[in-house]
Amino acid sequence: MNAPNPYRSLLARTAVALAVCIPLVVVCYFFVDKPVAFFVHDHGIPQTPTIKWLTEPPPLVQGWAPLLVAIMLAAWAWCTPSLWQRTLVIACLSLIVADQCRESLGDVCGRYWPETWHDNNPSLIGTGAYGFHPFKTGDDIGSFPSGHASRIAGFAGVFWIVYPRRRWLCLVVAAPMALSLIAMNYHFVGDVIAGSFLGGIVATYAATLAKLDTKS
């Protein structure tokens, strides 16, 4: 009997994830994103230093990820990598790929940001701009999906898969950072949901392709 094709299973799981994610994003777009963005702005939540600090680790980890991967791969020339070392390398690669996928989708979707942050970019709070403008590229309309959320889920998702009994730790680390993106008005709720699904999908493919064994 032929072994089951893991890539068909991955494709099926991706389809299920998209079937869940897309309706959630649509609901957020019409009923959640605007009220939450105005609430965050009106209550001055982005002025909280701790919340801002929580948004900083994802790009910082991405910046160091290539060097870390190179060091780890060089070290493996003299020793057999342990499971956690392999997991760390795959998590770093997953983070990088997830963010690149997010950038491509950002250009395809072209969504305005919740607030104006740089170069007078159009935004819901700043100029009343709201919505998607497909295939209109540029940093001023790259809110969807969230790059930070994609990085977080792409990295933590690999550990989530490999160490199921440590998933509580993934939630403790990743959830506050994802929520901080909304609390800072860096992204709409729908952006974070989509970015999280994207990162999770990439992490699933990465862990499967790397043939990481599931451990407790």
Give the range among 1-10, 38-47, 53-62, 75-84 with minimum mean pLDDT: 1-10
Residue 1 lies in a domain: no
What is the tens place of the pLDDT at every residue in 121-147? 889 999 999 999 888 777 778 899 999
Residue 71 lies in a domain: yes
Percent of the chain residues past pLDDT 90, beyond the cut? 80
Residue 39 lies in a domain: yes
pLDDT of 216 above 60: no
Residue 157 lies in a domain: yes
Residue 173 lies in a domain: yes
Q: HSE (CB half, 13 Å, CA atoms) of 200?
A: 18
Domain, as residue range, for 160: 6-209
- Indicate which CATH number applies to the domain containing 203: 1.20.144
Residue 216 lies in a domain: no
Residue 199 lies in a domain: yes
Give 111's strand partners. Answer: 132, 142
Residue 214 lies in a domain: no
The number of distinct structural domains making up the chain is 1
d(CA 81, CA 98): 24
Enter the pTM of the model. Answer: 0.93
pLDDT for residue 170: 95
